[in-house]
Structure 1
Amino acid sequence: MKVNGYDESFVGWGLEDNDIAIRLLNAGIKKRFLKFGGICYHLNHFLASRTGEEENRNRLDRVINDKIIKAENGMNQYIDPKPQES
């Protein structure tokens, strides 16, 4: 919630994982190393197009240089700000 999840502005291949990691660091979240201390799964999937790689790199550079914390296009778009009354 603090960083608004993944930024869905990233298109195609690359750097969305780097983006959320950097925004978490910018927000003051401490990194923990879990080497041999956790289980990680990776789903097999088709390779995404790399046509947007340069734009994704520019977006990541802005996050680094401007110390951005919140994703522009993140999970807040799926959260109803006014909970339904029963």
Structure 2
Amino acid sequence: MSLVASSWISLSNTYQGMILRLGQLQEKRAELRKEMDRHELAILTAAQLNNSNQISRKLADESIGVSRRPRPIPSLGRATHKK
């Protein structure tokens, strides 16, 4: 009877230790997932800001109605050759 009782106590202690470690591991995994989510959101936000900054830089460089061509555009109504 004492052998069964001591076995039962040791097994219950082992089981409690395993359950405690399992709970700690689950908490660590949840924290890691939260940290990964925060990191991914930070990367996404940085990429979106970078993309919007590039677009706004392009818009800031270009005046409305002004071409960025290195040479002027000949008007459609004028003759291009002088006689």
Which has the larger helix fraction?
A: 2
Larger radius of gyration: 2
TM-score (structure 1 length as normaliser):
0.20
| Higher normalized contact order (CA 8 Å, seq sep 6+, divided by chain length) | 1
